[in-house]
Chains A and B, each alone.
Chain A
């Protein structure tokens, strides 16, 4: 991510230090992770010490300091989804992508993450890819859905 783009995002938030989290969220959603150079730029521009930015970036799970895949796969393993077979879905995903929850594959295609409730238990087992919800999943459907992401 280049500095010009980061500066744009900062401008959008009027360069206010109080918008730090919003700025970081914007960078995260565009770039999928927060490179150190980006944090440094934000630190200089908003005049917030890097130590504080580092604290916030490591505090919230929404931020990642390591590269993430182009597609973020969230599998719900909450109670309702668990009962409806979330572990089978998770197994299928692990097999197809070759990664475990919390990991990213070498081609930076997928990042896999488990979550504890996506708020739509009636659709369980639920899978979310790049913010799009896929409900009532079966192992076969999971494989089909994954094929749509490059």
Chain B
């Protein structure tokens, strides 16, 4: 069993090979903000809020801690002027899409993000993929997925599957940081009348 020793915020941390920086940090009680991370799901690395600074052989880079594996002797900083600035920017961009999300607003307060910095484009979904991945990996029902790409990307229910599976599940609803998911579900429901 190879043990990896490295540093997070000046603290020596021991971790097992294959762990991510995020897991190692959480195991010793160091907090890193996340949006798209979920313990039961494979790391996705889409929200970038978990960005940290890492020194590898005195070369500094910015990485997503939820997907970056720990390595011997690296030095991690979970807060720095640069990291904070990046998180603030990411939050401001998300808030342009989902200005009323409580989860985003709480974080915005911590990082001093201004929800009015960018023009609103209320699409609500911030593409964290929690609903899609939960339905796929945990429930294995695949009732909801992504469609299209780039700025037009959005989530979409498969009505036939949703009509059968979602009523008694709805486990993805509380996962969504913006409630876009519920809106999409209600909309699909309204549009779809099952064929008798």
Contact for B161 among A50, A52, A55, A58, CB less than 8 A? A50
What string of 1s and 0s marks CB contacts (under 8 Å) between A54-65 and chain B?
Answer: 110011000000
Q: Are A58 and B147 in contact (CB under 8 A)?
A: yes
Q: Are B158 and A50 in contact (CB under 8 A)?
A: yes
Q: Are A51 and B149 in contact (CB under 8 A)?
A: no
Q: How many residues of B contact A (CB 8 A)?
A: 14
Q: Are A59 and B148 in contact (CB under 8 A)?
A: yes
Contact for A54 among B135, B136, B145, CB less than 8 A? B145
Q: What band does the interface of chain A fall in when counting residues whose beta carbon is under 8 Å from B?
A: under 10
- Expressed in whole angstroms, the Cα–Cα distance for A50 and B147 within the complex equals 11
**Number of CB contacts from chain A to chain B under 8 A:** 31
Residues on B lying within 8 angstroms of A by beta carbon are 132, 135-136, 142-149, 156, 158, 161
* CB-nearest residue of chain B to A52: B145
Q: Which of B135, B147, B148, B156 has the most CB of A within 10 A?
A: B147
7 further contact pairs, Cβ within 8 A, besides A51-B135, A51-B142, A55-B146? A49-B142, A51-B144, A51-B145, A51-B146, A54-B145, A54-B158, A58-B148
Could you list some 23 contacts between A and B, CB below 8 A?
Answer: A49-B136, A49-B142, A49-B145, A50-B142, A50-B145, A50-B158, A51-B136, A51-B142, A51-B143, A51-B145, A51-B146, A51-B156, A51-B158, A52-B142, A52-B145, A54-B145, A54-B156, A55-B145, A55-B147, A58-B147, A58-B148, A59-B148, A59-B149
> Interface majority SS on B: helix, strand, loop or mixed?
mixed
Chain A residues near B142: list those with CB within 8 A: 49-52
Chain B residues near A58: list those with CB within 8 A: 147-149
- Expressed in whole angstroms, the Cα–Cα distance for A141 and B148 within the complex equals 37
List residues 92-127 of chain A with CB under 8 A from any CB of chain B.
Answer: none
Report, nearest first, the 8 A-B pairs whose CB atoms are least far apart.
Answer: A51-B145, A49-B142, A58-B147, A51-B142, A58-B148, A59-B149, A55-B146, A50-B158
* CB-nearest residue of chain A to B158: A50
